[in-house]
Amino acid sequence: MGVVLHAKDLNKRFGAVTAAAGVNAAIEQDSVVGLIGTNGAGKTTFINMITGYIKPDTGSIEFRGRDITALAPREVTRIGICRSFQIPQLYSSLTVFENMMVGLGVVLRNAKLGGFFSRGRPYVPGHEAPAEEVAERILQRFGLADYRNKNAQVLPGGVRKLLDIALTMVAKPSILLLDEPTSGVSAEEKFGMMDMVMTAVKAEGATVLFVEHDMEVVSRFAERVLAFYDGRIIADAPPEIALRDPEVKRYVVGGELHRMDEQQGSAHA
Amino acid sequence: MDQILTVIVDGIIYSSWLFVAAIGLTLIYGVMKIVNLTHGSFYALGAYAGASFTGAWLARGYPPMLSYAVLLASALIVALVVAPLIERGILRFMYAKDEVVIMLITYALFLILEDVIKLVWGVDPYFIAEPYGLLGSFEVGEMTYPTYNLILVGIAIVSGGGLTLLLRGTRFGKLLRTVIHDPEVSRAMGINVDRFYLVTFTFGSLLAAIGGAFTAPTVSVVPGLGVEIIVLSFAVIVIGGMGSLPGAALGAVIVGLVRSAAIHYAPAVELFVIYFVMALVLAFRPRGLFSLAEPRKI
Amino acid sequence: MNSNRTLLILGVVLLAVIGAGPLLPQWAMFLLTIAIAKGLVAQGLMLQLRAGLVSFGQALYYCIGAYTAGILGRFFGISDMLLEMICGAAVAAFIAFILGFLLARYRGIFYGLLSLALSMILYGLLVKSEALGSTDGINILPSTVFGIRPGQESVRHVVLVAGCAIAFIATLLVQRYLNTPLGQLAAAIKDNEIRVEYMGASVREAIHIKYVVAAALSGIGGALAATTVGHIDPDMAYWTTSGEFIFITILAGTRSVVAPFLGAAIFGIIHTVAYDVSPNTWQMTLGTALLLVILFLPEGLWSLFNRRKAA
């Protein structure tokens, strides 16, 4: 165990909006961390800064001791930190299988000079198998095998989400940042989906950070919770403790807990 | 000092011409978000119609002073007939397509219209110089300019000022700005967006035709007149910012002055310098000088 | 397109040209050679189109290739065809490499307009350049191949074979390139650039490379055309020339590396017939044909239709 990702004192303002104020977090290897907070609290900004999409005004981010604050998203991906998106970012004109192949192709290219001089089917570094096999394997793990030849455009919402997450596995990340993996998925399906995702991801031995609004999902899957409010981390603890923290209850959970109480009180099946 | 004065006066005259030639293009882009290459066709149509009608007018011995009205009428006729045909007949069905595809479609239409013009008016040059010299001349420093050039400047001011007034001061203008901002929402609010598009396209083409008509007396009207004007107009509106009226004015002034300076001080780069400025602006401020944002990618 | 099938088609065509070539009338050989030249330029356009980019100024590199051939002849006395084509490609690629740093940052109509402006800059420079013949242009030295000057009767055939051979090699290389991960990135770039970046690839780099390759192909085409026609002039950089290339590319579509040559051949036929029937309506014919292709030939413009609008 060791600290694999360290955000040090990140600050970011967009005009009058404070997206990050003194954000400090040390993420341990193999841990599963839930990021919670209301919209605009700074969770996605946090992920954007880690992946290099935006640069913090002050502060730094270290990955295995190396400063990655200034890297561009593609470089961050190459060193092993991958993210999924709130709104799935897919290649809508390609099939599910082709989506995976593009990603694997990029990994190949980064390693072997574009494959221009290679013969036959080169092995994808990190996966040690030809690209087609790796694609099948990942699709299987995410339950997407049946959608293999369907155009990404026609996929139902939950499946699009799954594909978006599956695509992040292509570059064999050691750290996975999932931005609202279960949003848009019905309440009954959330747990099943997270189960599948977590199993698939953990099989590759990745450290996971996920943004989530459903507190039940958070308490079930996260070992540790970072609660955001107004750009600050107001709680950093295991879910049982964090979700009971008065500040967290007030600024983050408040509304949801209320609803959860109501549901338990009513005669809903 | 005199040379600088000449450069400036020349530049202003050329700028006015450029402005009139270009505002139709920027208007259509601003409202309909399409890059309209038939712009060159309407310019040529205006020039040919202007030249032939005025030529006929003068040949019959009608009052020469009214030839200016004839020029205007010619532009009106070609624009009001051809523009709606194109917009209603073809373009209307294409708005959902990709912007580059629409540009290609207008390019195809431009090619067709080039030959239509040849078929109607033939390939021999038209030359009607009379309106050009009719108003006498005026002097600035040592140079003499035909007073006719002031008409161009006048048209530039009237059309620029008129359009601005229209956009800001009238109900029509307000509705138009809504359509510019968001056609979908406008439609949902009950605004007849299709009608606005038709009016905009026709009016923009009319402006191009007017530019062509009033240029006719100053040049020899030949096939290919429309081609040059397209790229030139683009240079102007790209520099100023596509869709921006003040931008078109700024672009016209810059291009006009730069070209004038080039002609006087370094004639070899005359053609080159305009496109160079356009490339420069595209390189550093792709949305034009009148904007703050840049459409750069990651 | 399946690479083995491509190889087969190309091989057959090459053999046919070498063998049956001399049987063709001179004008047919001329047309075929020009079709190959323009097909190469269209191939370059196709590469960019696959990534969703339309260059409205591809004639820039066509002209550069042609003038390189002309300059080699006029100022260095070099008349070797193959050398001309190789140098045409090299000079075009070099200039594209530099300009690519600028161009690769833009998309959509800005990419189109900027490429247009650049080609018009060259046009403007050439028109004013006395040394290069200004609007009259200059004549190309009669072609030689490996030092031998073919006789009057066979020169057309020799040029055709040489052009065919170079096109064959170029097409094979392009096909190879398209089968690599970088080559296949084009569709992804056109679809979702953010996802491409987040997969670990640089979109700008990919576009820059495609731009340079397209320029090189166009340079070869330009040199070949120059050799075939025997004359070059600034009109080769004019925007209407770029328009012809665009038409050919759209007609050809983006599915196959061989299609651009077919498109160029069809274009050549239309051009010849239209000019024979009625020279004053050539542009109308081209415009109508372009419109029809845009509206009714989905295969050709399909890729553009499916393009996702930038969010």
Q: For residue C2, name the pLDDT band (cuts at 50, 70, 90).
A: low
Chain C CB contacts of B98 below 8 Å: 304-305, 307, 309
With cut-offs at 50, 70 and 90, classify the pLDDT of residue C298.
low
The phi, psi pair for B282, rounded to 5°, reads -60, -30
pLDDT tens, residue by residue, A250-265: 877 764 454 444 444 4
Q: Is the CB of residue B298 less than 8 Å away from at least one CB of chain A?
A: yes
Share of chain A above pLDDT 90, in %: 28
Provide, as residue numbers in chain A, all residues whose Cβ is less than 8 Å from the Cβ of C201: 74, 106, 109-110
Q: What is residue C60's predicted lDDT score, i.e. its pLDDT? A: 96
C191–A107 C-beta distance less than 8 A: no
- Choose among C294, C277, C165, C155: nearest CA to C227: C155
Residue A267: is its pLDDT beyond 60?
no
State whether C107 and B295 contact (CB < 8 Å): yes
CA nearest to C235, candidates C71, C138, C123, C140: C123
pLDDT tens string C109-142: 878 878 888 888 898 888 888 888 888 888 877 7
Chain B residues with beta carbon closer than 8 angstroms to that of A73: 298
Of A263-267, B118-122, B255-259, the one with minimum mean pLDDT is: A263-267
Tokens representing C300 are 């050709």
Mean pLDDT of chain B: 84
Q: Is A126 on the interface with B (CB under 8 A)?
A: no
Structure tokens at B15: 């700028």
Q: For B268, name the nearest residue in chain C, comparing CA atoms only.
A: C128
Boundaries of domain holding C191: 3-305
The pLDDT tens digits for C174-183 are: 988 888 877 8
- Architecture per CATH, domain A3-87+173-265, reads as 3-Layer(aba) Sandwich (3.40)
Q: How many helices (H) and strands (E) does chain C have?
A: 13, 2
Chain A, nearest residue to B297 by Cα: A53
CB-CB: which of B107, B272, B282 is closest to C110?
B282
Would you call A154 an interface residue with chain B, using a CB distance cutoff of 8 Å? no
What's the rounded Cα separation, in Å, for the pair A149 and B133? Answer: 73
Shortest distance, CA B281 to any CA of chain C (angstroms): 10
Contacts made by residues B227-231, CB under 8 angstroms, sequence distance 24+? B227/B40, B227/B114, B227/C239, B227/C240, B229/B21, B229/B39, B229/B40, B229/B43, B229/B44, B230/B37, B230/B39, B230/B40, B230/B110, B231/B275, B231/C116, B231/C117, B231/C120, B231/C239
Show residues of chain A in contact with B297, CB under 8 Å.
none
* Chain A touched by B292 (CB under 8 Å): no
Contact C187 A78 (CB under 8 A): no
pLDDT one-digit tens code per residue, A178-203: 999 888 788 888 888 888 888 888 88
Instruction: Provide the token pair at B142.
Output: 């040592």
The token pair at A211 is 């943004």
User: What does the pLDDT read at residue B290?
Assistant: 66
Calpha distance B222→B127 (Å, rounded): 9
For residue C180, the domain's CATH number is 1.10.3470
Q: Which of B111, B274, B295 sits opposite C284 (nearest CB)?
A: B111
B180-199 per-position pLDDT tens digit: 888 888 888 888 888 889 99
d(CA C263, CA A91): 29
| Residue C217 confidence (pLDDT) | 96
Partners of A114 on chain C (C-beta within 8 Å) are: 180-182
Question: Which of B104, B115, B297 is closest, CB to CB, to C294?
Answer: B104
Instruction: Tokens for C48, please give them.
Output: 């960019």
Give the mean pLDDT of chain A: 84
Q: Say whether B37 sits in a helix, a strand or coil.
A: coil
Looking at residue B289, its amino acid is L
Cβ–Cβ pairs < 8 A, chains A and B? 3
Q: How confident is the model at residue A113, as a pLDDT?
A: 53
Domains parsed from chain B with CATH numbers: 2-284 (1.10.3470)
User: For chain C, which residues lie within 8 Å of any Cβ of chain A, measuring from their own Cβ?
Assistant: 176-177, 180-182, 184-185, 187-188, 190-192, 194-202, 306, 308
Going along C60-126, which residue ranges are E strands? none
Q: Give residue B291's pLDDT.
A: 56
pLDDT in tens, A55-64: 999 999 999 9
Dist CA B257 CA A113 (whole Å): 50
pLDDT digits (tens, 9 = 90+) for B206-254: 999 999 998 888 888 888 788 778 878 888 888 888 878 888 898 899 9
- Whether residue C310 has pLDDT greater than 70: no
Q: Does C108 touch chain B (CB under 8 A)?
A: yes
Contacting chains of A (3 CB pairs or more, <8 Å) are B, C
Residue of B26, B91, B100 for testing the chain C interface, max C β-carbons within 10 Å: B100
Asked if C188 and A78 come within 8 Å (Cβ–Cβ), the reply is no
Residues 6+ apart with CB under 8 A from B239: B247, B250, B251, B254, B255, B277, B278, B281, B288, B289
Q: Which residue is closest to B100 within chain C, CA to CA?
A: C109
Residue B123, Cβ neighbours under 10 Å: how many? 11
Considering chain C, what is the average pLDDT of its residues? Answer: 85
Q: Which residues of C touch B228 (CB under 8 A)?
A: none
A 10 A CB-CB count for B90 gives 16
Q: Say what the pLDDT of residue A262 is.
A: 46
Rounded CA separation C117/B183 (Å): 31
Percent of chain A residues topping a pLDDT of 70: 87
Whether A101 and C184 lie within 8 Å, measured CB to CB: yes
Please name the member of A51, A74, A92 whose beta carbon is closest to the beta carbon of C202.
A74
Dist. CA B117–CA B44, nearest whole Å: 8
**Virtual torsion, Cα A178, A179, A182, A185, nearest 10 deg:** -140
Domain range annotation of chain A: 3-87+173-265, 91-154
B26 to chain A, closest Cα gap in Å: 32
Asked if C181's CB is within 8 angstroms of A114's CB, the reply is yes
Reported ipTM: the value is: 0.81
pLDDT over 70 at C302, yes or no: no
CA distance B108 to chain A (A): 28
Backbone angles phi, psi at A232, to 5 degrees: -110, 155
Q: Is residue C311 part of a domain?
A: no
Measuring CA to CA, how many Å separate A243 from each of A34, A158, A237, C286? Answer: 11, 27, 9, 70
Contact A92 C201 (CB under 8 A): no
Collect all residues of chain B within an 8 Å Cβ-Cβ radius of residue A72: 298
How confident is residue C1, by pLDDT bands cut at 50, 70 and 90?
A: very low
Q: Give the closest of C195, C200, C201 to A91, CB-based.
A: C195
pLDDT in tens, A8-46: 999 998 888 888 888 999 999 889 999 998 888 889 899
> Which region, left, alpha or beta, applies to residue A81 given φ > 0 means left and ψ of -120 to 50 means alpha?
beta
Residue C83 in contact with partner chain B when CB distance is under 8 A:
no
How far is the C-alpha of B287 from the C-alpha of B291, rounded, in Å?
6
* Helical residues (DSSP H) of chain B, grouped into ranges: 2-32, 39-59, 67-89, 99-121, 130-134, 148-169, 171-181, 183-188, 193-215, 225-240, 245-265, 270-284
C250 interfaces chain B, CB cutoff of 8 Å: yes
Q: Do residues C304 and C297 make contact, with C-beta atoms less than 8 angstroms apart? A: no
Structure tokens at C97: 């490499």
Question: Distance from A75 to chain C by nearest Cα, in Å?
Answer: 6
Q: How many domains does chain C have?
A: 1
Asked if the model's pLDDT at residue C253 lies above 80, the reply is: yes
**Domain contains C296:** yes
Residues B201-206 have a mean pLDDT of 94
Is C163 within the bounds of a domain? yes
Q: What span, in angstroms and rounded, lies between the C-alpha atoms of B167 and C311?
A: 28
Tell me, yes or no, whether C94 lies in a domain. yes
A225 is written with which tokens? 């919770």
**CB-CB: which of A74, A90, A110 is closest to C197?**
A74
Q: With cut-offs at 50, 70 and 90, classify the pLDDT of residue A120.
A: low
Give me the pLDDT at residue B292, please.
40
For residues B87-109, average pLDDT = 87
Contacts of B298 in chain A (CB under 8 A): 53, 72-73
Kindly identify which residue of chain B lies nearest to residue C283, measuring between CA atoms.
B111
Q: Which residue has the tokens 């100053």?
A: B218
